[in-house]
A = this chain, B = another copy of it.
Amino acid sequence: MATIKDVAAKAGVSTATVSRVLNGERVKQETKERVLAAIEALGYRPNLVARSLKTQKTQIIGFVVPDFGSFFMRVAEAVEEILNSYGYSLIVCNSNEDLTREIEQVQMLVERQVDGLLVVPTSSSSKHLLEAQKKGIPVVLVDRLVKGMQVDSVLVDNVNGAYQAVEHLVTMGYRRIGVINGRLEVTTGEERYRGYLRVFEDYNLPIAEELIRTGDFSSQSGYILIKELMALPHPPQAVFIANCYMTMGAMLAISELGIRVPEDLAIVAFDDMELYRIATPPLTVVVQPMEEIGKTAARLIYKRVSGDNSDFPQMYRLKPELVVRGSSVPPGRLEASSEVTVNKVAL
């Protein structure tokens, strides 16, 4: 492959001049044209690896996500778009919700000299992230927090999101409200659970321990736990499910069991997915601003890699939104179920 030397030779100039043309520095118009012609003729493309070694900047941001599911990929899509517009590339890595793998991926990204790191931590272990910071690599936590670490973060107000969801059920008159939690050692799981509890506190309602189940965010656990709940001698009348994968599993179980929603069981879920709208009935959900999470995280890491360390550590708490659809209606007037849908179709 042609190098800058070949171009220099062909254009009859030094490599420095070619470099200047490449980087848009001042070069005499005529020289510039000769260089450009040589580049064109040779089909020359700069070697970004060499450039990175020299400049000590790769223009790459690493993004470690726990899975390639729709939630994080919608975030990643927004991140990539913003970052590309700034001239950065994104490497998205899958930690598989596994700390060991997360550590490996972070280490690999550090060795690849990424300029910055976006991480959705799988646990509260922070050693590998601290190390990255120590090496001067800015880190921004996305969606989840690692406690006791000074770090930028872009999060969602999970407590109040869950609160709204459960409060919605309570104000409609439900009392036996179950919950399918995610992993409590992950902040999103813990916070959503806290939101659930807080409603009972605020409304001075008793909590039925047997209606509280803790899964691991997987659809499998949603499937199992909803079955456990519904097999109870006195099953819940409503349930709050803490993330989209568990909701998926729960809905499958529900359709297998022939449980009618919302007649037998009202549902409010955290996270929205396109298909929830075409479920029968469409699901009431707490929608997270995925695109905004991505854009905010991208802008923040860009700010840091650009050397702006003001307001460190910066924390964004984006607000989720309750969207009431057919899966939750007042226990009194179930006939109206199909009319409760209030979401605007946004294809």
Which A residues contact B (CB, under 8 angstroms)?
1, 43, 45-50, 52-53, 58, 68-70, 73-74, 76-77, 80-81, 89-94, 107-108, 110-113, 131, 135-136, 219-220, 223, 248-249, 251-252, 254-256, 273-280, 282, 345, 347
Contacts and interface: CB of A to CB of B under 8 A. Distances in A.
A128 to B, nearest CB: 11
A271 B248 CA distance: 18
A52 B273 CA distance: 41
A108 B74 CA distance: 22
Given A49-B49, A249-B347, 14 more contacts: A45-B111, A47-B53, A48-B113, A49-B112, A68-B74, A69-B73, A70-B70, A81-B94, A89-B93, A89-B108, A251-B275, A251-B278, A252-B347, A255-B277
A108 B87 CA distance: 10
B223 A347 contact: yes
The binding surface of chain A is classed by DSSP as: helix
B91 A49 contact: no
A73 B68 contact: yes
Contacts of A68: 73-74, 76-77
Sort A-B residue pairs by CB-CB distance and give the 4 closest, nearest first. Answer: A275-B275, A68-B73, A251-B278, A280-B280
Contact of A111 (B48, B74, B94, B135): B48
- Which of A50, A73, A74, A80 gathers the greatest number of chain B CB atoms within 10 Å? A73
B278 A248 contact: yes
A269 B145 CA distance: 40
A112 B69 contact: no
A91 B77 CA distance: 13
Contacts of A278: 248, 251-252, 254-255, 279
A215 to B, nearest CB: 12
A92 B65 CA distance: 13
B53 A80 contact: no
A53 B49 contact: yes
A89 B107 contact: no
Contacts of A81: 94
A113 B347 contact: no
